[in-house]
Structure 1
């Protein structure tokens, strides 16, 4: 009898504790979702000094008047989604034997046989009108996965936004609204931006109305690796400013004192998620290229040089070992055998110093310049080799290794594989006793190959669904033709064993 009373008391105590956690978490989650979606954050007045100020550095009124009408408020809605709850690390419900199937305990321990619902979400950001007939630039992360997009102009008129195209690599997207005779912003030239110059950030932060803030350019060609969250091949070369930018400013305008667009506000560096000193904008010269491609071709025509280089800062010891001099250029770690650089004679160990008339001193600057070109474009590449300066003409290729413009959707296949690929050269093919193939030089996180197989770097792809592939282009064609999935066969260098990997086509991010 005493044992049953003790057991009863323990069970009641556990239920009370779990119930308290349940209702607290539910209340706290509700509170959090309100603050971070459509609800306005608490606003406090700042101190006001009625006295006049002398020696103002610049008059921003003209720039603000030009830019405010062309900046729009974007609101998105994502519908609830059902997903499977059969996670392999699902906790077992320890009370199932006592109470059977019970929704209350499943809130905490889950039920692997059930579907769970991801709640719908509402969010907001900003955008910039670039034409009188309703084309709008914004950030990809503002509209990603949205089921509904609404666009409100500065005159309070609201329209339905349609997605024209997006590029996660640069975090840019183009929308269209059905309207005419709209105010729009003129492009500036981000190459003319100088550190220390005044700029304005225009947008709809924290769900407020149009807000204009001022600051100076603090730095150029900054990398944050933030675009790696949405793309396996991020491109970053931000303009850094100290203009106040907050949640909701994403997709808004960074303008100069003439009111010309010089960047699209995209990110902030903050430990809290709110402005604390620095904000980052995508240079307009990258924006122009991406937007024009999306509007003209439906996809980005991205050119590739065919080299690998250090993306992060190297230590002094690493630089010394590689023979890198600070500010000298971008060190070539490796060259894709069938890439544009290899065809022009660039070799491992060369240092890229110029691209046409632009000096290259960092990986970010290299990315920024290369992002302006499309397959088939020619450019002059300056480089150092053994301390001597050289220059060579390079014709840029697309990702599959030819000079053609790609069709909408063709970029996605190879990007979704998640790997650096190159066509196996003839000498290596002979060494490995094969007719040809495609080398998986480096696997990337989040790709089909890395997520769905135990494939390792260096694998040589020989066949897709039983058909030989001897180039990256043939690999792309074979996978594109596959329906829901495909089987890859190949070998590792120095091994006679044939390995087989079955891959499913899942929704990629690009």
Structure 2
């Protein structure tokens, strides 16, 4: 007679989910940490140079360009960066864009390879992300968590104006003091966001790396600033009712919450309650889809806007102006 033999699971052979999670975080941290530097920027006064800001920065080119937050560099023009291996370099501020909270600085070409920039458009809520910073010189400060939300908005100040940074990533990966400007990486070690503590309140937020932010980075590298077109709309994404989908062929749009006074949108006749369907024949359904149409080349160029109003689709013509940061 055959006797059944029970087998005791081998703990060494089993796959522990916690160990798998830990292994991923350890691997990504080891890969990303060499790309992240501690950043200190300086101002000049009657008593000489003094520190005006500090945070982290991410090396993204082989010739020494680093990406950080605009609020970290403030109005400074120079400073220093220290990599995790102790290598120090003087840096100059190449350009800063308060409306995206992104800035580019440059030091001498480092020995470390540049980070690989990913695409935040591929992120999903619940996905593992790892935040790496270099706060106050504490190299390789790592926290891990998941994507808690996408498409968030946070307020910033630019000059005397209050602006909104759109399409921000929210994560429960805690940000340590000084981690602003550091890297938010996916499980493959690609940089999908630049961490920002501009909103305060202990929120884990990051400016996404996507098509729009890549254009901003390119403009900062080329001109040191970003020229934007301005319509004067405050909007939010909205799903269209089935009947409207049938009539317009659009499933989503941007609900106009407010039309700013004396703006191109007001002069074009837009109203609160309108739903913006397309701009210049390009469908708009979220903040980024509209923002990517409003860079320098759109300034002064008439744009046809398709709008859903009181159940009917109408067309209006707006001429964007250059956004004034003052």
**Band the TM-score falls in, shorter-chain normalisation:** 0.7 to 0.9
Displacement of 1:168 in angstroms is: 1.8
Which residue, 291, 313, 319 being the options, matches 1:371?
291
**Which residue number in structure 1 is paired with residue 271 of structure 2?**
348
SS in 1 for 2:221: helix
**Which residue number in structure 2 is paired with residue 126 of structure 1?**
56
Say if 1:208 and 1:126 are closer, same or farther in 2 by CA, change over 3 A: same
**1:69 aligned to 2:34?**
yes
SS in 2 for 1:183: coil
Which residue, 49, 66, 75 being the options, matches 1:136?
66
**Which residue number in structure 1 is paired with residue 88 of structure 2?**
158
Q: Does 1 or 2 have the higher relative contact order (CA < 8 Å, sep 6+)? A: 2
Is the Cα–Cα contact under 8 Å of residues 130 and 173 in structure 2 kept in the other structure? yes
Superposition RMSD in Å: 3.5
What is the rounded CA distance, in whole Å, between the counterparts of 1:181 and 1:398 in structure 2? 44
Number of residues of Structure 1 aligned to a counterpart in Structure 2:
286
- Considering fraction of residues, name the structure with more strand: 2
In structure 2, runs of 5+ residues without a counterpart are 1-13, 237-251
Which residue, 382, 388, 401 being the options, matches 2:312?
388
In structure 1, runs of 5+ residues without a counterpart are 1-51, 83-117, 312-326, 400-410, 417-510
Which residue, 213, 223, 247 being the options, matches 2:153?
223
**1:236 aligned to 2:159?**
no
**Which residue number in structure 1 is paired with residue 325 of structure 2?**
415
SS in 2 for 1:186: coil
**Which residue number in structure 2 is paired with residue 32 of structure 1?**
none
**Which residue number in structure 1 is paired with residue 248 of structure 2?**
none
Is the Cα–Cα contact under 8 Å of residues 200 and 213 in structure 1 kept in the other structure? yes
C-alpha distance after superposition, 1:167-210 (max 9, x if no partner):
12222211011226641122222222211111111111354121
C-alpha distance after superposition, 1:358-409 (max 9, x if no partner):
523xxxx3xx4443341335988553211235678x787341xxxxxxxxxx
**Which residue number in structure 2 is paired with residue 320 of structure 1?**
none
Say if 1:380 and 1:166 are closer, same or farther in 2 by CA, change over 3 A: same
- Structure of larger gyration radius: 1
Which residue, 190, 193, 210 being the options, matches 2:120?
190
What is the rounded CA distance, in whole Å, between the counterparts of 2:74 and 2:198 in structure 1? 19
SS in 2 for 1:259: coil
**Which residue number in structure 1 is paired with residue 99 of structure 2?**
169
